Amino acid sequence: MHTPAADKVLKSNKPTFEETTIKIEQKIIAFICENNLSFNLIDNLVNLLKEVSVDHEVIKSLKLKRQKGTNILMRKLGPFSKEIILNKLRTNKFSIIMDETTDIGTKKSLVIIGSLFDATVHEAVDMFVDFIEVEDASAAGLFNAVKNVLDLNHIPYGYI
């Protein structure tokens, strides 16, 4: 006889080997980013972890290199972190810091930073919002570019 209660008791909440491996890879990439370290470090760091980890099979099975690390950052951690930042901008008063730059090929770009008091860490922080290419680097063009970023990310003007 099949009983749902028995299935719950017998089913393990322990993460699978693969889930544990993915979580460790993501933590390594987060560590690299949080400490502003080079992605060139990943290959040697993973090899070091494999050497010093005597019994941990998950560490020994890691297949993390620079390319995979970049993919984890761009596809998983980046969007997750960006959503956290956007939620803070949607719910807190903030200032905008922006800087326009022109590269050697005359391509114009704009970086947008949100500066706010983060109650979770009890200090003022600057948070990367976006880096966009702009056609018009005039005051009106930059204003419209920032306005478009705010609109696309549903950030209310009232908190600026």
Tens digits of residue pLDDT in 51-82: 777 667 777 777 888 888 888 888 888 888 89
| Number of CB atoms found within 10 A of residue 128's CB | 12
Range 91-98 average pLDDT? 94
Range 36-44 average pLDDT? 87
Q: Considering only 44-58, 101-115, 123-137, which range has the smallest mean pLDDT?
A: 44-58
Q: Are 58 and 20 in contact (CB under 8 A)?
A: yes
**Both 77 and 51 in a single domain?**
yes
- Asked whether residue 87 is assigned to any structural domain, the reply reads no
The answer, as to whether pTM is greater than 0.85, is: no
- Whether residue 148 is predicted with pLDDT greater than 90 in this model: the reply is yes
Tokens of 106: 């005359």
Tokens of 108: 């114009």
The DSSP H or E segment spanning 6 is: helix 4-10
**Both 104 and 63 in a single domain?**
no
- Asked whether residue 2 is assigned to any structural domain, the reply reads no
Express as a percent the part of the chain with pLDDT over 70.
Answer: 91
**Both 70 and 108 in a single domain?**
no
Mean pLDDT, the chain, integer: 85
- Give the domain extent around 137: 92-159
What does the pLDDT read at residue 2? Answer: 43
Tokens 């560590």 belong to 31
What does the pLDDT read at residue 29? Answer: 87
- Whether residue 3 is predicted with pLDDT greater than 50 in this model: the reply is no
Total domains present in the chain: 2
- Asked whether residue 4 is assigned to any structural domain, the reply reads no
